Chains A and B, each alone.
Chain A
Amino acid sequence: MKSEVAAEGQPVKERWLQRKASASYWLEAAKKWSWMIVRFVLIFGISFIIIYPILLKLSIAFKSREDLYDSMVIWVPRALTLENFKLVYQAMNYPAVLLNTLLLSGVVMCLTTLTCVLAGYGFSRIRIRGSGLLFAAVIFTILVPTHTIMVPLYLNFKSFDIFGLFALMRGEPLNLINTYWPFILSAALGMGVKTGLYVYIFRQFFKGIPREIEEAAYVDGANYFATFMRVVLPNAVPAMVTVMLFSFVWQWNDSFFTNMYLNEPKVMSSMMASSAYSIATFLSGGGQAEMARYVQDPFFMSMMMNTSVLMAILPLIILYLFVQRHFVESVERSGLVG
């Protein structure tokens, strides 16, 4: 570097000053800085809009009943209180509901991922007549809205039977409504919430893995299943993390199937809808007049609603804080794009 500068006969500092004096340098700098500012404002603004509802819920959840009628209080409560959280915790039977939801989402997540990773791999490698048609069926399951098959599914699980086996043994078909079996069955058979999408993700991912790796395993004497377990699956971890996260979160938030299959609010998403009323019942201890007093107070009901929604999504947010970096990276690496 130095010899170059010396050859041109200009010290570094002087050349730098010269560059600074030219208009184009300043134009470039101005462009760069203004873009940075615009970008910052945009990203900050949108981030704020995303976080705003959570902040709002936080602010509401910490308020006491007196604060609701105090016109001075808008954002910052006068008396910080954990009363609302305590109420929701007791009235909603929070620990049990949390455990139920965690278990259900966890089991559904594992089963869904397992079935979909198998199906995705099968679809990426199978080459028999009609395999294209089979994959078209996967796309079809994504496109058909669940509402179309909702009624038959409900009736199916209401009197569940496998080729008349249960009717033969027990004299009547099983009623699986209000149990967790519908979720487990549909997850294990790859027909749960948005599973078509997962199969699609896995297929795209496995298409990107070169066949040579598997062929090397065959040459070394591994059979088809051993190859899958030992060679293919370890490579598929990023895609699996993506699908696991999605299926966990979507099961957690799903209110369509939970409302359809469960009569009682046993899990978070169905609990939220009725939380305010059950808290009012809990507070009034069963008295009609008492109950009405709570229910007719829209501010109180709304406050309870907000608190319980906050408590329902709190575990998710905590989970997200831990896996967030993994989430973004894994989606980028999972070859979703194909």
Chain B
Amino acid sequence: MRFRKLSLEQKNRYYGIYFILPWLIGFLFLFLVPLIASFRYSLSNLQVTNEGFTLNHIGWSNYREALLSHESYLRTLTGSLLNIGVNTPLIVIFSLFFAVLLNQKFRGRILARAIFFLPVILASGIIASIESGDLMQSVVSNASETTGGGLAIMDNLELTVMLVESGMSVTFVEYLTGAVSRIYEIISQSGVQILIFLAGLQSISPSLYEAAKIEGSTGYEAFWKITFPMISPLILTNLVYTIIDSFIRDETSRMIVDTAFQSFDFGLSAAMAWMYFAVIAIVLWVTTAIVSRKVFYQD
């Protein structure tokens, strides 16, 4: 009876819960419960038997094993971290640059956009993992390289020497040339980011640019004074997306899967996954804390 006294608007407020309900059930039973279970497994020794499984509580020894006595966990984890530290800025800068390019008007823009979003479709999942280290492909590209075909991806040894001799710091030069050699990897990971940036660029009001032009600004100035601040919230979004995405496709996650389904050490695998999650959380927290201070919000 109390329900009747609510006004229509008040009632509508509560109707929202019906819409969330399917998701909420999924969240509880396919996310929260498994998450807690996973934490319990990480503290135990899990034996799969005919009627399900048995758990023996063994404290933190799975964590200890992963950190102190597993032959490659720590090394792989730091490797993935380093990789992400190197790749993430490159991916974000690259995708911003090309989103700006693709946003300009030129002939063949539709075709160029279509090609740039191909990686969204092709470079996820198993295709990417087959891609690397395929014999025939390396044979063909080696052959193209030795025959001096312009098709081979640029060998930038000479450029490196030149840059170092002109007095740039070696680490920086290596970073840059490394980026050039890993260009495929970077492109294949930046499809979604370009899409997000492009959507953001479209939503910047053209009158801002018009006003700037009347005041006599150049395109370069307009980019740094208008485009960059307006798009900065999306830079944060893309940073977070890139970090999560690269964590999901790296070496460590493969190791976690292998530990569970090939050596059937479910407890160890869960412990590895939890530490992995902790590392991701820290990385994300630090990044957002640093970047969000610089982000410009219009409203």
| A interface residues with partner B (beta carbon < 8 Å) | 36, 39-40, 42-43, 46-47, 49-54, 56-57, 59-60, 68, 74-75, 115-116, 118-119, 121-123, 125-128, 131, 134, 137-138, 141-156, 159, 185-186, 188-191, 199, 218, 224-225, 228, 249-250, 253-256, 260, 269, 272-273, 298-299, 301-303, 305-306, 309, 312-313, 316-317, 320, 324-325, 327-328, 331-332, 334-337
Contact = CB atoms under 8 A, between A and B. Distances in A.
Given A50-B187, A56-B137, A337-B196, A145 B276 contact: yes
A306 B134 contact: yes
B34 interface: yes
Given A150-B257, A189-B30, A59 B140 contact: yes
Given A128-B13, A142-B244, A189-B30, A253 B260 contact: no
B198 interface: yes
Contacts, number: 268
A51 B30 contact: no
A269 B130 CA distance: 11
Contact of A156 (B34, B118, B129, B266): B34
B52 to A, nearest CB: 5
A115 B35 CA distance: 21
Given A59-B140, A218-B8, A189 B256 contact: no
Given A147-B257, A149-B38, A302-B135, A253 B277 contact: no
Contact of B121 (A51, A59, A218, A316): A316
A249 B17 contact: no
Given A128-B16, A313-B127, A50 B118 contact: yes
Contact of B26 (A43, A131, A186): A186
A56 B140 contact: yes
Contact of B30 (A126, A191, A269): A191
Given A43-B112, A74-B144, A149-B34, A122 B16 contact: yes
B107 to A, nearest CB: 9
Q: Which secondary structure dominates chain A's binding surface? A: helix
Given A116-B23, A190-B22, A199-B23, A60 B33 contact: no
A191 to B, nearest CB: 4
Contact of A145 (B23, B37, B101, B247): B247
A105 B216 CA distance: 53
A188 B276 contact: no
Q: Which of A159, A254, A309 has the most CB of B within 10 A?
A: A309
B239 interface: no
B276 A147 contact: yes
B16 A305 contact: no
